[in-house]
Amino acid sequence: MRAFSAIVKLTFRHAVRSHIFQLLFGVLLLCVALIPTTITNSTAADFLKSSIFYSLWIVSAVLGLSSIWLGCFIMTCDIDSYQLHMVVSKPVSRITVWLGKWTGVCLVNLLLLAAASTAVYFIILYRFNNLEFPPGEKERMRAEVLVGRRAFRADRPDYSEAINELVRQKIKRLTSQGRTVDTQMQEKLIKDSQLEVVSRDSEAKVGVVKSWRFSNIPANTGKPIFLRYRPYINKVASEDQRPAHLLWSVGIPRERKAAAQAGPLAQQNAKTYDIYLYPLDDKPDQVMTGVFHEKELKPEWNVVSSDGYVFMTVVNLDRLGGTMFFQPADGPKLLVPATGFAGNYARAVLVIGMELMLLAALSCAFAGCLSMPVAIFMVLSYLLFGAFSVYMVNLEYLAGFADRFGQFVGKVLLWVVIPLQRFDVSSVVSDGVLVEWAFIGSLFFHMIVLKALPLVLLGIYFYNKRELGLIVRK
């Protein structure tokens, strides 16, 4: 244990003396001091979201580069300077050396993360409390952004029957034209039919009532529930979007014994209440399509039923007759306050800390059996492969064989590579959405235990078997 602690202290001291680390440390200080203090948006929402998002993202990026550099630098420096040759001649195992160096690198970056995230937290809150914003807007931001809200998505219908029917119709039409439907063609028909059915279900034509049901919503919390959504007009694309009108309504449950007649959304299975629709606004709401919007459901409305359901409807009232689209990924979803901003911010910092420890482990694993430039190249390539794989797997439009082959390669790579964007929680925290413990546990198990740990153990094995006598530097 004395050898381990001595290696950690020497690693910490050596890392702090690195010129590249000192440069990254200066960049980190500059970003922490400037970003929250220079953002001067006109609204409290823009200021808070921009400050939290960019500050956390910059801290994560700079410390991530620091972890990669220090991991590769520390592991190769002792080998290149022949200091490790003397250390391993003592009764100290190479595994102890490796773990001590990794712990030292993690200790440096985690201390910097704690200091930087704490400074960002207090600077943002100080500026928010001292800037001149309307009182009502500040209170709204405390309820929407400075909080951790659990997200509940609408229940998804079972599309299987509609997809199968559409595939049967397409096969019948192709067969009548004399075309042969092989296995590859059938797979393409199934995929195209899935996209078509989901797209058809996400559209809302003018004057048509579109409804959603949300389940497992906690009742009687005494806190408002927020409806978050992003509509598109005419097409699901960021360009050519414009203002449009719509009207949201919420279903209010009423005990059946007190109701004179069944409501328009009366439940067949639940015998104790009926659902009555009440509009959220007195007149149609004009919104800008292509961007996110939120509406508040006050706690005194009692919109949650006794069995945990909330019912929402929307009517497209666009005056130009355009069709609206509500993508499943963009909502609508309900946000229910679950914790304070400090607790949610601490969870985000924990995720960043896991990312830094992961990057340090990968860097030490590669640098233990490679030279420093090659080790840095391998780590960056590994991370770029992860980003490439996510992009190709999520690609919806496949133009030809190259795209299909790239998507197949991406799916294969995701079994072994780590998409680092999974650790990016800056946008989640800036939107006031809760960083769930289940999400953190999933990251730890799938990204660190299943993917990173085997690679790290392999790197330790090669480091332990490396013949130091073959390393000669002139």
- State the pLDDT at residue 395: 65
Amino acid at 36: P
C-alpha dihedral sign at 52, 287, 315, 219: positive
Q: Are 426 and 124 in contact (CB under 8 A)?
A: no
Q: Distance between CA 429 and CA 435 in Å, rounded? A: 7
Please state which architecture CATH assigns to domain 205-331.
Sandwich (2.60)
3-state secondary structure the chain: CHHHHHHHHHHHHHHHCCHHHHHHHHHHHHHHHHHHHHCCCCCHHHHHHHHHHHHHHHHHHHHHHHHHHHHHHHHHHHHHCCHHHHHCCCCCCHHHHHHHHHHHHHHHHHHHHHHHHHHHHHHHHHHHHHCCCCHHHHHHHHHHCCEEEEEEECCCCCCHHHHHHHHHHHHHHHHHCCCCCCHHHHHHHHHHHHHHHHHHHHEECECCEEEEEECCCCCCCCCCEEEEECCEECCCCCCCCCEEEEEEEEEEEEEHHHCCCCCCCCCCCCCCEEEEEEECCCCCEEEECCCCEEEEECHHHCCCCCCCCEEEEEEECCCCCCCEECCHHHCCEEEEEEEEHHHHHHHHHHHHHHHHHHHHHHHHHHHCCCCHHHHHHHHHHHHHHHHHHHHHHCCCCCCCHHHHHHHHHHHHHCCCCCCHHHHCCHHHHHCCECCCHHHHHHHHHHHHHHHHHHHHHHHHHHHHHCCHHHCCCC
- State the pLDDT at residue 231: 92
Q: Distance between CA 162 and CA 170 in Å, rounded? A: 12
Q: Distance between CA 86 and CA 27 in Å, rounded? A: 36
Where do the domains of the chain lie? 2-148+353-469, 205-331
Q: Angle at which helices 341-367 and 372-393 pack, to 10 degrees? A: 130
Chain position carrying tokens 């690198």 = 105
**Tens digits of pLDDT across the chain (474 residues):** 777 888 888 888 878 887 777 888 888 888 887 777 777 666 788 888 888 998 899 999 999 998 999 899 888 877 666 666 566 566 678 888 889 999 999 999 999 999 999 999 998 888 888 888 777 888 888 888 888 999 899 988 877 888 888 888 888 887 887 777 777 777 777 877 877 777 778 888 898 889 999 999 988 778 889 999 999 998 888 788 999 999 999 999 888 764 444 455 544 444 578 888 999 988 899 999 988 898 989 988 889 988 889 999 999 999 998 999 998 888 799 999 888 999 999 999 999 999 999 999 999 999 888 888 899 999 999 988 888 887 777 765 555 666 677 777 778 888 888 888 889 999 899 988 899 999 999 999 999 999 999 999 999 988 888 776 555 554
Q: Which of 474, 471, 468 is nearest to 86 (CA)?
A: 468
- First and final C-alpha spacing in the chain: 35
